[in-house]
Structure 1
């Protein structure tokens, strides 16, 4: 089926017998926290809290559960200790890379340009959340246009107005995403179909860090993003039920994996090499189609 051929999806295989149910709140303000990504550590099982901070997660035995949300400390807890409410502690780290100042826009520079018509390969999401990140290296030519203005992403959605989260990370000593350069959710909304989705971040006044930074796309396992479809396996006529969480994110073929990372099972790791895809992408690494507009 076209959907299976065109989209790389993290495959899920699990047996579930019991259900966790809780509401996630801020430990200080007691406000509910939406869009928290939740994983069973070292397994392909997970979900996302909804707009009311609620989540449900099915597991078969006691597991370690990992909770990750922008602006909060990552939390690991045994599943048998999760009660009706679960608290996350706000981060107190100073965001040195965020520069707040008044500025008058007179110059712009676009990096990472792509052609929508040339892209037919995507990252997609099955029934568990995951994050993929692209690294943008600093260049001396950015000195005169040091502020981040717009992010443009190639999206393909089978549902109307699917939501995804954008995380902005710094870079660790070993080159992986680490620490936020902006500590709030940046929600993108993808219209139905193949679109170039634009997110204006000019009001955030974020300066391009001199050691580079990551733009990370986080899929949200929420009802609004759910898409159910039928498909058949090669060599069989039997129709099977499939579920994805939209949108899919367009990718470009890259010769190396140095700028692409994924976060799943609670860990960052390098992107995998493509196999069994079109000639253009075969034996290449997938790099998200992201265009960045810089300004002064």
Structure 2
């Protein structure tokens, strides 16, 4: 009898330890729920994104795991996970670095192209909850075209309904690594079924190309409505993100769980080190 009770105790302990971690993320000052917040189990690819009501859930999490919560305009927060978590984030000012004011003409343009048209993008980064960031080092020729006018990315969506994803721009440091310095607010975007090219118009923001270069970050959002299942696989996160067709110099970084993975290590995590397909249009 004692053996049976011990086995039962171990099984119950295991099931309670490895369970669904869920909760709500709100603004500490207003109490309002926060949408599209990244919630990670630190240093892992397990995580979630808050929905319209600020709610999240992480399958197969463990009570006592360190949860990392980050969102634009709020202080990053870490805590030990309970089965249900009520998390309040402290607002902070977005620190956008000052730029030198120069004349804005918007007459001539220059393209930094990684793909000629969406039909030429045939390979994709798919599934997995992570962000991919394409690095653009500064070049002397950019002094003639100092403003970022437009960004376009290619995605593929297997669902019948539209899915939501996000793009942001961040500055690089003097070594070409990602910083926490934002160049613009998050761009929340939607893409319909099939392969699509999504454009982000930045002309009104007059964003200058930084001297250390910059990153275009593409975030998939780990929401229930963004998951596709078929006979082969379950809960494949949408959309897939297009790759360059050629093996160019690796400059795509990967982010998950509070850490950046460098291009030279990318293949160890996703099986390829090809750059994501992002086109940038500059103007004078």
Range of TM-score over shorter length? 0.7 to 0.9
* Structure having the higher Rg: 2
Unaligned runs of 5+ in 2: 1-14
Distance in 2 (alpha carbons) for counterparts of 1:174 and 1:109: 25
- For 2:262, the equivalent position in structure 1 comes to 270
Distance in 1 (alpha carbons) for counterparts of 2:225 and 2:99: 32
Q: CA deviation at 1:76?
A: 1.1
- For 1:34, the equivalent position in structure 2 comes to 35
Instruction: Report the TM-score, using the length of structure 1 for normalisation.
Output: 0.79
Distance in 2 (alpha carbons) for counterparts of 1:125 and 1:211: 31
166 and 273 in structure 1: CA distance in 2 versus 1, 3 angstrom threshold: closer
Point out the structure with the larger helix share.
Answer: 2
Distance in 2 (alpha carbons) for counterparts of 1:73 and 1:218: 19
- For 1:76, the equivalent position in structure 2 comes to 78
- For 2:277, the equivalent position in structure 1 comes to 289
Q: Which region of structure 1 is more displaced relative to structure 2, 22-31 or 45-54?
A: 22-31
Distance in 1 (alpha carbons) for counterparts of 2:32 and 2:104: 34
Residues 27 and 88, structure 2, Cα contact 8 Å, conserved in 1: yes
27 and 173 in structure 1: CA distance in 2 versus 1, 3 angstrom threshold: farther
Q: CA deviation at 1:223?
A: 2.7
Q: Deviations over 1:29-65 (max 9, x none)?
A: 4332211111111233111001221112232331000
Instruction: Report the TM-score, using the length of structure 2 for normalisation.
Output: 0.82
For residues 140-151 of structure 1, the aligned pairs below 5 Å read: 140-151=140-151
Q: Deviations over 1:197-251 (max 9, x none)?
A: 11212222211111100001111011331211121xxxxxxxxx42211111111
Q: Deviations over 1:60-92 (max 9, x none)?
A: 3310001121222221111139643x1222333
Residues 163 and 239, structure 2, Cα contact 8 Å, conserved in 1: yes
Cα RMSD for the two superposed structures: 2.7
137 and 295 in structure 1: CA distance in 2 versus 1, 3 angstrom threshold: same
For residues 43-192 of structure 1, the aligned pairs below 5 Å read: 43-58=44-59, 59-80=61-82, 83-84=85-86, 86-92=87-93, 94-97=95-98, 103-115=104-116, 116-126=118-128, 129-159=129-159, 160-182=161-183, 184-192=185-193
Q: CA deviation at 1:256?
A: 4.0
77 and 273 in structure 1: CA distance in 2 versus 1, 3 angstrom threshold: closer
- For 2:6, the equivalent position in structure 1 comes to none
Number of aligned residues: 263
- For 1:238, the equivalent position in structure 2 comes to none
Unaligned runs of 5+ in 1: 1-14, 232-240
154 and 98 in structure 1: CA distance in 2 versus 1, 3 angstrom threshold: farther
111 and 183 in structure 1: CA distance in 2 versus 1, 3 angstrom threshold: closer
Residues 166 and 218, structure 2, Cα contact 8 Å, conserved in 1: yes
Distance in 2 (alpha carbons) for counterparts of 1:152 and 1:49: 26
291 and 24 in structure 1: CA distance in 2 versus 1, 3 angstrom threshold: same
Aligned counterpart for 2:236 among listed residues 244, 252, 269: 244
